[in-house]
Amino acid sequence: MSALLDVENLSIRFPIKRGWGKTSWLYAVDDVSFQVNRGETLSIVGESGSGKTTAALGVARLVPNSGGKVDLAGEDFLALEAEDLRKARAKVQVIFQDPYSSLNPRLRAEAIVREPMDSIGTLPVAERAGRVAELFEQVGLRPEQMKLFPHQFSGGQRQRIGIARALATNPELIICDEAVSALDVAVQAQILNLLRRLQRDLGLTYLFISHDLGVVQHMSDHIAVMYMGKIVEYADRLSLFNDPRHPYTKALLSAVPSVDQSRNVDRLLIPGDPPDPLNPPEGCRFASRCPFVEDACRVDQPQLNAVTDQHKVACIKA
Ligand SMILES: Nc1ncnc2c1ncn2[C@@H]1O[C@H](COP(=O)(O)OP(=O)(O)OP(=O)(O)O)[C@@H](O)[C@H]1O
C-alpha cells in the first residue's frame, strides 16, 4: 500500500522568553517520522502537551517547522512557495476540536462551508453553490439549514458544518484534531460513524489526534504514541492494543476501563509529572516516571526500532 503522507524528521520548536532578553527553545515536536497510507487512519495519542496537535499542524504548515520533510501525495509540501502552496492547501484540511469557536459566528453556514473553495479557488464560481448543497447532504444536514448561523445549531451539527467545510476542496488528507472531544458520547458516536463513512466513500486519509483511546481504537489502522515531542511507539491497531511494548503505552492503555473481562490488565500508574519541556533529560524522556527504569535508560536516547514488521518501539527494554 502506498503512503499518501510521509513525514521525515519533523521538528517544531517555539521560542520561550525567559527573563532579560533570554530565549529558550521548546521542542514541541522533536525529530518525528511517520507515514500514513492512502485511505487509512493514523492516530496520534499521548497526554496533554506531548506534541500531538503541533505535529499535525506542522504537517499542514499551520505552524512553522524548524526542520524535516513532509511528502504529501508526492509533493514536497514544506518546500512549496506562495502560489503552489495555495493550490496544494486544497489537499489537506483540518477539522478542529471545538465546533463552538472554530466557526465564524457572523457567517451563515453556507458561507462557512464555501469559504475554502473561495480562498483556494478549487471550483469555478458558478459551481460553488451547488457544491455547498451537495456537501450539506453528504454530512447529514438539511438544505434549509444552509441559511442559519452557527449558534442556531447543536454541537454535533456544528461539527458536521466543520466536516463539510473540510471536504469542500476535495482534500486527500484530513487532520481531525480532537474532532469529537467536545461532544457528548452519543453525539461522538454519530460523528465518528460519519467520518468513517466519508472515509470509505471518498477514499479519505485521516491523521487523527486524540487523547481518548476508546475513540482511537474505533478509528485507527495505525497508532503513534507521543511523549514529550517524540514518538515512543508506532504500531498497527491490534499490535498496539494487544501487545503494547513501551511502558508509557502500557500505562496509557491500563488506564482505559474495559468491558472485556478477558483483557485483565493490571493498572499501571505513571507517577509524577513530565519533566520540564524546556529542559528535557538526557537519555529516555520517560525515564523519570518509568517503573522499569535502569541506569542505561538515562544515558542515550532510545531510537524507534522495529520489533516486528508493523511495530516500532523506542525503549531499550523492548
Ligand atoms: N504557540 C506555542 N508557543 C509556545 N509553546 C507552545 C505553543 N503551542 C504549543 N506549545 C507547547 O508545545 C508543547 C506541545 O503542545 P501540543 O498542544 O502540541 O500538545 P498536545 O499533545 O496536542 O496537547 P493538548 O492535547 O493539550 O493540546 C506543549 O509543551 C505546549 O505548551
DSSP letter (8 states) at residue 171: -
Q: For residue 189, name the pLDDT band (cuts at 50, 70, 90).
A: very high
Strands 173-177 and 205-209: parallel
Q: For residue 139, report the distance from its CA to the centre of ligand 1, in Å.
A: 30
Instruction: Name the residue of 12, 24, 26 whose CB sits within 8 Å of the most ligand 1 atoms, as the mutation to test its pocket.
Output: 26
Sign of the CA dihedral running 24, 30, 31, 34: negative
Model confidence at 218: pLDDT above 70: yes
Give the model's pLDDT for residue 257: 67
Q: For residue 110, name the pLDDT band (cuts at 50, 70, 90).
A: very high
Q: For residue 251, report the distance from its CA to the centre of ligand 1, in Å.
A: 22
- What SS3 state is found at 36? strand
Model confidence at 261: pLDDT above 70: no
Q: For residue 45, report the distance from its CA to the centre of ligand 1, in Å.
A: 13
- Looking at per-residue confidence, does 274 or 20 come out higher? 274
Give the model's pLDDT for residue 102: 81
Only one residue has cell 514541541, namely 28
Question: Is residue 18 exposed (0-12), middle (13-18) or buried (19+ Cβ within 10 Å)?
Answer: exposed
> How far apart are the C-alpha atoms of 258 and 264, rounded to whole Å?
8
Give the model's pLDDT for residue 273: 84
> How far apart are the C-alpha atoms of 282 and 82, rounded to whole Å?
39
Q: For residue 262, name the pLDDT band (cuts at 50, 70, 90).
A: low
Instruction: State the average pLDDT over residues 265-270.
Output: 70
Q: For the whole model, what pTM was predicted?
A: 0.93
Q: For residue 144, report the distance from its CA to the centre of ligand 1, in Å.
A: 39
Lowest mean pLDDT among 24-33, 91-100, 133-142: 91-100
Closest residue CA from atom 12 of ligand 1? 28
Which segments of the chain are extended strands (E)?
3-18, 22-37, 41-45, 67-72, 75-76, 92-95, 173-177, 205-209, 222-227, 230-236, 305-308, 311-313
Give the model's pLDDT for residue 38: 96
Q: Report which of 267, 248, 260, 261 is spatially closest to residue 314, judged by C-alpha positions.
A: 248
Q: For residue 264, name the pLDDT band (cuts at 50, 70, 90).
A: low
Task: Indicate the average pLDDT of the chain.
Answer: 92
Strands 311-313 and 305-308: antiparallel
Only one residue has cell 468491558, namely 259
Beta-carbon contacts of 253 under 8 Å, excluding residues fewer than 6 positions away, are: 213, 241, 244, 265
Give the model's pLDDT for residue 258: 62
pLDDT digit string, tens, across residues 15-73: 998 877 788 999 999 999 999 999 999 999 999 999 999 999 999 999 998 899 999 99
Do 249 and 235 meet the contact criterion of CB atoms below 8 Å apart? Answer: no
Closest residue CA from atom 26 of ligand 1? 48
Instruction: State the average pLDDT over residues 260-279.
Output: 73
Q: For residue 266, name the pLDDT band (cuts at 50, 70, 90).
A: low
Give the model's pLDDT for residue 57: 94
User: Which atom of ligand 1 is least distant from the CA of 178?
Assistant: 25
Q: For residue 28, report the distance from its CA to the centre of ligand 1, in Å.
A: 6
Angle made by CA atoms 169, 102, 136, in degrees to the nearest 5: 45
Q: Where are the domains of the chain?
A: 1-38+46-79+224-317
CA-to-CA dists, residue 140 to 8, 163, 191, 243, angstroms: 37, 11, 10, 38
Instruction: Name the residue of 44, 47, 50, 232 whose CB sits within 8 Å of the most ligand 1 atoms, as the mutation to test its pocket.
Output: 50
Instruction: Name the residue of 52, 97, 278 whose CB sits within 8 Å of the most ligand 1 atoms, as the mutation to test its pocket.
Output: 52
Model confidence at 235: pLDDT above 80: yes
Give the model's pLDDT for residue 263: 54
Give the model's pLDDT for residue 260: 55
CA-to-CA dists, residue 216 to 16, 175, 224, 240, 306, angstroms: 32, 14, 11, 11, 22
In sequence order, the β-bridge partners of residue 37 are 3
Q: What share of the chain is helix, strand, coil (3-state, %, to 5)?
A: 35, 25, 40
DSSP one-letter string for 236-277: EHHHHHHS--SHHHHHHHHTS--S-TT--PPP----S-PPPT
CA-to-CA dists, residue 73 to 55, 91, 205, 250, angstroms: 18, 9, 11, 34
- Looking at per-residue confidence, does 183 or 269 come out higher? 183
- Looking at per-residue confidence, does 65 or 140 come out higher? 140
Q: Which residues line ligand 1 (CB under 6 A)?
A: 14, 26, 28, 46, 48-54, 211, 277
Q: For residue 123, name the pLDDT band (cuts at 50, 70, 90).
A: confident
Closest residue CA from atom 8 of ligand 1? 54
Query: ipTM greater than 0.90, yes or no?
Result: yes
Model confidence at 87: pLDDT above 60: yes
Fold of 1-38+46-79+224-317: Rossmann fold (3.40.50)
Give the model's pLDDT for residue 308: 94
CA-to-CA dists, residue 133 to 59, 71, 104, 136, 224, angstroms: 30, 32, 19, 5, 36
Q: Report which of 199, 156, 159, 158 is spatially closest to residue 41, judged by C-alpha positions.
A: 199
Instruction: State the average pLDDT over residues 212-227.
Output: 95
User: b/e string for 202-218 if b means 16 or more Cβ within 10 A?
Assistant: eebbbbbbbbbbebbbb
